[in-house]
C-alpha cells in the first residue's frame, strides 16, 4: 500500500495549480471535474446549522437534502469511484430561524447518506448532551469525533478522538477538534461537566496514536484562520485540514504553515472534495458550491437530466 504524505506533494506547485481551478456555480456550467484516475473521493460537509431545505433566505440555497440522492446517483453513474462522506462541525440549528431541523434529524440524514464520521463544533455540544451522555441516543453507527472534548469529573473523552477508514486509496484517519474555549462549560450535575482542553496537545496525542495506523490524516475542525494558524504551528503529522467556520469558504485550499486548509463554512453551501488516486496519491482538493444547478432534484431525488449523462459533477474518466 502506498503511503500518502500530502504535506510535501501538494505544496507549493500543486497548490498553485489547484488555486487556478475556477469555482463555477452559474447555471449550465457546473463544477470542475475531478482528475483522471480518481479512485476515491472524500466528501466533507460542514456548518449545516440545521438548514436542509434548498430554498430560503440567508443564503440557504442548496441545503443538505441533495446529499442522499447525489450519493445514490454517483453510485449508479460512477460505481468505480469510492465515496467517503464526513462532516465537520456546527450542524445544530439556530432556534430563531425557520426551515431548520434538530441535530437528531440532521444526524439521521448523515446516517442515510452513509457518513463515516461527524466532528462536532462548539454549537453542537449542548444539543448532543440533550440527546444522551456521549451522544448515545444520537446515532449509534455514526462516529462522533472530538479530540479535545472531555468530562471534567472523570477526565474521559466525551466522544472518540479519531476514526480510521479503510479506502481503496489506503487508510485515512479523521481527527475531530474544537476551538479551545477555557471559559466555556456544558452540562451540570448529576450528569457531569463537559469542557474543551487545549486543542494542540489533544491533536498531538491523537495523531501520535495513529502513527502506524493511517496513511493520511485529515483534521476536521471549526476554527478561524487565526486559531488554525496557531494550532498548526504547534502540531505535526496532519496532512489536510477542513474547517467549517462561519463565513469562511474557498473553492481551493490555502496553505497554512505548510498544510493545505480547505474552508467550507457557509451554511452548508460548500461540498469539500479530496480526490485520491488508486496508488494513494492526492489528485486534487477543492470545494464546490451547491446551488440550483445540480443533476439531482434535492427535494424529489429525481434526476434533472438523463441518467445516461453523468453531467458536470461526475469524475471525468476519459
Tell me the CATH number at 174. 3.60.21.10
Write the pLDDT tens digit of every residue in 178-204.
999 999 999 876 667 999 999 999 999
- 131 assigned to some structural domain: yes
- 29 assigned to some structural domain: no
How many domains are there within the chain? 1
- 33 assigned to some structural domain: no
pTM: 0.84
pLDDT of 84 over the 90 cut: yes
Residues across the chain: 318
Domain containing residue 49: 13-22+38-289
- 117 assigned to some structural domain: yes
Q: Quickly state the pLDDT bin for 246 (edges 50, 70, 90).
A: confident
pLDDT of 173 over the 80 cut: yes
Write the pLDDT tens digit of every residue in 101-155.
889 999 999 999 999 999 999 999 999 988 864 444 444 579 999 999 999 888 8
- In the chain, pLDDT over 90 holds for what percent of residues? 50
- In the chain, pLDDT over 70 holds for what percent of residues? 75
For 286-314, what is the mean pLDDT? 63
pLDDT of 167 over the 80 cut: yes
pLDDT of 36 over the 80 cut: yes
- 6 assigned to some structural domain: no
- 96 assigned to some structural domain: yes
Amino acid at each position: 500500500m502506498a503511503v500518502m504524505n500530502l504535506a510535501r506533494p501538494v505544496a507549493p506547485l500543486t497548490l498553485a495549480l489547484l488555486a487556478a481551478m475556477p469555482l463555477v456555480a452559474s447555471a449550465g456550467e457546473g463544477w470542475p471535474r475531478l482528475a483522471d484516475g480518481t479512485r476515491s473521493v472524500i466528501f466533507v460537509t460542514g456548518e449545516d446549522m440545521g438548514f436542509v431545505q434548498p430554498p430560503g433566505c440567508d443564503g440557504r440555497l442548496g441545503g443538505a437534502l441533495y446529499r442522499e440522492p447525489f450519493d445514490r446517483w454517483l453510485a449508479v453513474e460512477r460505481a468505480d469511484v469510492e465515496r467517503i462522506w464526513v462532516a465537520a462541525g456546527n450542524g445544530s440549528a439556530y432556534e430563531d430561524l425557520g426551515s431548520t431541523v434538530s441535530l437528531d434529524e440532521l444526524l439521521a440524514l448523515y446516517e442515510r447518506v452513509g457518513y463515516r464520521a461527524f466532528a462536532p463544533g462548539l454549537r453542537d455540544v449542548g444539543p448532543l448532551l440533550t440527546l444522551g451522555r456521549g451522544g448515545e441516543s444520537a446515532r449509534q453507527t455514526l462516529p462522533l469525533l472530538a479530540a479535545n472534548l472531555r468530562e471534567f469529573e472523570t477526565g474521559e473523552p466525551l466522544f472518540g478522538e479519531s476514526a480510521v477508514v479503510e479506502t481503496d486509496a489506503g487508510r485515512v484517519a479523521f481527527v475531530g477538534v474544537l476551538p479551545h474555549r477555557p471559559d466555556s462549560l456544558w452540562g451540570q450535575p448529576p450528569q457531569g461537566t463537559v469542557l474543551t482542553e487545549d486543542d494542540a496537545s489533544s491533536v498531538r496525542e491523537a495523531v501520535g496514536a495513529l502513527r502506524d495506523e493511517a496513511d493520511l490524516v485529515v483534521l476536521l475542525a471549526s476554527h478561524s484562520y487565526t486559531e488554525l494558524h496557531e494550532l498548526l504551528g504547534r502540531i505535526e503529522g496532519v496532512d489536510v485540514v477542513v474547517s467549517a467556520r462561519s463565513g469562511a469558504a474557498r473553492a481551493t485550499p490555502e496553505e497554512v504553515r505548510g498544510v493545505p486548509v480547505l474552508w467550507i463554512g457557509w451554511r452548508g453551501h460548500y461540498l469539500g472534495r479530496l480526490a485520491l488516486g488508486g496508488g494513494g496519491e492526492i489528485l486534487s482538493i477543492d470545494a464546490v458550491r451547491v446551488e440550483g444547478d445540480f443533476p439531482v432534484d434535492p427535494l424529489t431525488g429525481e434526476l434533472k437530466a438523463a441518467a445516461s449523462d453523468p453531467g458536470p459533477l461526475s469524475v471525468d474518466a476519459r
